Structure 1
Amino acid sequence: MSLQHLRNYLEGRTQSRTQPICAYLYDLVHLRARADSLRQSLPPQCKLFYAIKANSDEPVLKALAGHVDGFEVASLGEIHRARAVDDSIPIVFGGPGKSDAELEGALDQRIMLTHVESEHQLRRLDWIARSRNQVADILLRVNPAFVPQQATLRMGGQATQFGIDETQIPALFELIPTLPGIRLKGLHIHAISNNLDACTHLALMQHYFDLAEAWQRRYGLAFDWLNVGGGIGVNYANPNAPFDWNSFCAGLSALIAARQPRFQIVFECGRFLAADCGYYMSEVTDIKTSYNKHFAILRGGSHHFRLPVSWQHNHPFMVLARDSWPYPFSRPAVHDAPVTLCGELCTPKDTLARDVHVERLRAGDCVVFLLAGAYGWHISHHDFLSHPHPERVFLDNY
């Protein structure tokens, strides 16, 4: 979305004392183009799935259907969202806490692969599938003993609620042939999140290959799939230095050529695919100074856009000036100084960027937070304090 599109939206809204601007804007044209570009860069042996937890809005899912190889879901509700958009698109089902109702729903909705996260989950799925005269295709989710990278979040290489310890996997290889409701199709290994370095992510892929190939040799297995998760990051601190996807794909092509794995490789990207299609726009309702520090109060905040508070970072933004001013008295402003951008909630944690320099910011101007298309609205506590929800605008075919 261009700056002009943002300005067009802003100019289309008349200034109001009582209804300050607060909106999410999503660029569906860019989203489709990005999905096509990422998918086309991958080696032919790889598939690109969209992790819908990042943004599960129906217009987003409709925009991506046909531009990704499938959807990754983590609940029965997400299964229904995906099926409402496309009755036949491949779906893979993750999550550590699947209920019996969710496992039954996965079988009802023809889920391509269920990612099994414990022996108990495995046995329950087998019991349910046999009671229905069905067989469930599964991947075992592995928590590897060693993860060679650091990242913002770690789901593997340490004690977590995710997956099955690497040391426990061989026992499940022995168990699965005795479970007639289960068909093992491969492994799911998703150990880190928001990695920004292409070289270290490639090393992670090599480690995943090592584990899969060693187990195939030792146990006489032939995996069809290796799901390597998502984990590819978005650089909120410096949006001009993104993860080098093209370099990563070139390295992955060389790795596949050298190793000749027979399994197909699934990426389930959410943040990396959708973040830069979305913008969160919020009007400044007040500028104030407290003990020599400047604060801008926004219409909105972490109840709409929780990501900056959750990750404890200053979210990237830009200022869109609005010259009209409806009041008969002076306009609060801050010039060439650091300011903290706060929301309207009754908590000091409602901060989206702290001590960030602005050339000029005035009450009535709008702040536009970039990279807000993933894990923004969808992870936020919308009804805390019962403030109005933001407008949500999906731009397509402009």
Structure 2
Amino acid sequence: MTSHEDLAVRFGTPLYVYDLDEITAARHELFDALPEEFDLYYALKANPHPGLVRALRDGEGRSCRAEISSTGELAAALEAGFDGSECLYTGPGKTLGELREAIGAGVRLFSTDSVTDVRRVGEAAAGHGVVADILLRVNSASATATSSIRMTGTPSQFGFDSETLGDLLPDVLATPGVKVRGMHYFPLSNAKDENALIGEFQHTIAGAAELARRLDIPLDYLDIGGGFTVPYGVPGERGHYPKLRAELEAALDTHFPDWRAGTPRLACESGRFLIGASGTLLASVSNVKVSRGRKFVITDAGINTFGGMSGLGRLLPVAVQPQAGAETESASLVGPLCTPGDVLGREITLPALSPDDLVTVPNVGAYGPTASLLMFLGRPAPTEVIVRGDDVVSASRIEHSRSYLPTAPGASE
């Protein structure tokens, strides 16, 4: 593979480098961990770069589908070669305008979170003279996960609460323009280990079977969500799931005896696992200073480049990849922005760094530029380079621009 140092010289920093071979390996590994009957959706929120999305669709072996939550992600999926019919459109706040655009582009499968959401999908579908398939996203009353990022079992903007779904179901089923095809669950994100993930999937499968039976919900399709893990911004390997396939098959045999014949059709979804380990962030040290006994290493990559979701309190700190045998010290790694919040790691272990040295942060293929405060303070977006082996496949940068709209009532350009 072309060295990071060479790429930094060629393209400058801050620089993201994405390895397509790693993405291909992650896709094969996750498909191998799932029963063959499963569809696998890639969640574009993790990284919508069309070159990376294309790698999850194309190539040898089984292909991912696309899980999208905006018309921007839809555009990225279409640019990557997906057809609208290969997309699952999710999100609790879909507008009528975006639904019309999505249906016009061929999207026919939507995860819905409320009666209002269902009605909007139906109105948009009817306007196009079609019927949209919907999944009812379910917010279960309980969950098995005690760690990781909980996405169910609590009050939430996501999904129908399982205990009140029965009261709402007549309105859902009576909505014109839609057909209920099944259910969608997403109980957790970034499970701490395989046993936690298996336990949550078993809980989901049992709960879906019970709810479908009790409420007589049509169940042609069941998406049980994700939770597959990879380190974020620190060294480490993707999670491994040697027991998952057998445990899923056993749970499905118990609760859905006809699942192998396609009743219901099944799906999982993943973002970070498929893409996270492919990315490396390269940044240059601008300055090293000491303030009242504490050392600060200032780089050209800040929260506008990486970690803009740090306000959620779950993505920091990063860990810099040291050279073998290199001397280390404790210091804060900060960015170039004019705010004290521009911190990638406080008092973390770093190599002994000097101005113009190159800093390397691993496992940043997911939740990088598009999950950051990209436009804050008007600094250029980082360059993103895609490589396969020694070949540079593409180099690009997101550009900021402002479009002016007509100001006079009824005026158009």
User: Shorter-normalised TM-score: what interval?
Assistant: 0.7 to 0.9
CA contact (8 A) 2:148 2:192 kept: no
CA contact (8 A) 1:236 1:316 kept: no
Q: For residue 218 of structure 1, what is the amino acid of its counterpart?
A: R
Number of matched pairs: 378
The residue correspondences of 1:103-142 to structure 2 (distance < 5 A) are 103-142=99-138
Q: For residue 302 of structure 2, what is the amino acid of its counterpart?
A: G
The one-character-per-residue Cα deviations of 1:234-286 (angstroms, maximum 9, x if unpaired) are 23487436433223334223323444343222112111111111111001111
Q: 1:96 Cα shift?
A: 0.6
The one-character-per-residue Cα deviations of 1:132-190 (angstroms, maximum 9, x if unpaired) are 33111000011111111134433321112111111221134333442332111110111
Aligned to 1:76: 71
Aligned to 1:315: 318
CA contact (8 A) 1:143 1:189 kept: yes
Q: 1:393 Cα shift?
A: 0.9
Q: 1:307 Cα shift?
A: 5.2
1:145/1:386 Cα in 2 relative to 1: closer, same or farther (>3 Å)? same
Distance 1:102 1:337 in 2: 50
Distance 1:181 1:187 in 2: 18
1:218/1:114 Cα in 2 relative to 1: closer, same or farther (>3 Å)? same
Aligned to 1:185: 181
The one-character-per-residue Cα deviations of 1:317-338 (angstroms, maximum 9, x if unpaired) are 21469xxxxxxxxxxxx96421
Distance 1:11 1:107 in 2: 45
Residue aligned with 1:139, SS: strand
Aligned to 1:330: none
Matched, 1:268 2:269: yes
The one-character-per-residue Cα deviations of 1:60-109 (angstroms, maximum 9, x if unpaired) are 12222235330000012211221222252610000011000122123212
Distance 1:10 1:380 in 2: 21
1:74/1:303 Cα in 2 relative to 1: closer, same or farther (>3 Å)? same
Matched, 1:35 2:27: yes
CA contact (8 A) 1:309 1:350 kept: no
CA contact (8 A) 1:95 1:115 kept: yes
Q: 1:353 Cα shift?
A: 1.8
Distance 1:237 1:366 in 2: 16
Q: 1:368 Cα shift?
A: 0.9
CA contact (8 A) 1:196 1:234 kept: no
CA contact (8 A) 1:150 1:195 kept: no
Aligned to 1:325: none
Aligned to 1:98: 94
1:383/1:236 Cα in 2 relative to 1: closer, same or farther (>3 Å)? closer
Q: What's the RMSD between the two structures over aligned residues?
A: 2.4
Aligned to 2:204: 208
Residue aligned with 1:246, SS: coil
Aligned to 2:38: 46
Deviates more, 1:266-275 or 1:75-84: 75-84
The residue correspondences of 1:355-370 to structure 2 (distance < 5 A) are 355-370=347-362
The residue correspondences of 1:1-398 to structure 2 (distance < 5 A) are 5-10=3-8, 12=10, 21-66=13-58, 68-88=63-83, 90-236=86-232, 239-240=235-236, 242-259=238-255, 260=257, 261=259, 262-306=263-307, 309-310=310-311, 311-319=314-322, 336-396=328-388, 398=390
1:235/1:247 Cα in 2 relative to 1: closer, same or farther (>3 Å)? farther
Aligned to 1:324: none
Q: For residue 21 of structure 1, what is the amino acid of its counterpart?
A: T
Q: For residue 365 of structure 2, what is the amino acid of its counterpart?
A: G
Residue aligned with 2:242, SS: helix
Distance 2:21 2:237 in 1: 23
Q: For residue 162 of structure 2, what is the amino acid of its counterpart?
A: E
Distance 1:256 1:117 in 2: 25
Residue aligned with 2:21, SS: helix
CA contact (8 A) 2:231 2:277 kept: no
CA contact (8 A) 1:308 1:352 kept: no
Residue aligned with 2:119, SS: helix
CA contact (8 A) 1:320 1:365 kept: no
1:87/1:160 Cα in 2 relative to 1: closer, same or farther (>3 Å)? closer
Q: Structure 2 unaligned segments of length 5 or more: list them.
A: 391-413
1:381/1:257 Cα in 2 relative to 1: closer, same or farther (>3 Å)? same
1:308/1:116 Cα in 2 relative to 1: closer, same or farther (>3 Å)? closer
Distance 1:71 1:385 in 2: 33
Q: 1:344 Cα shift?
A: 0.5
Q: For residue 85 of structure 1, what is the amino acid of its counterpart?
A: A
Residue aligned with 1:167, SS: coil
Residue aligned with 2:196, SS: helix
CA contact (8 A) 2:15 2:281 kept: yes
CA contact (8 A) 2:237 2:277 kept: no
Distance 1:172 1:244 in 2: 39
CA contact (8 A) 1:308 1:315 kept: no
Q: 1:302 Cα shift?
A: 0.7
Aligned to 2:409: none
Residue aligned with 1:183, SS: strand
Deviates more, 1:273-282 or 1:61-70: 61-70
Deviates more, 1:193-202 or 1:302-311: 302-311
Aligned to 2:408: none
Q: For residue 72 of structure 2, what is the amino acid of its counterpart?
A: G
1:166/1:283 Cα in 2 relative to 1: closer, same or farther (>3 Å)? same
Task: Give the TM-score normalised by structure 1.
Answer: 0.87
Residue aligned with 1:212, SS: helix
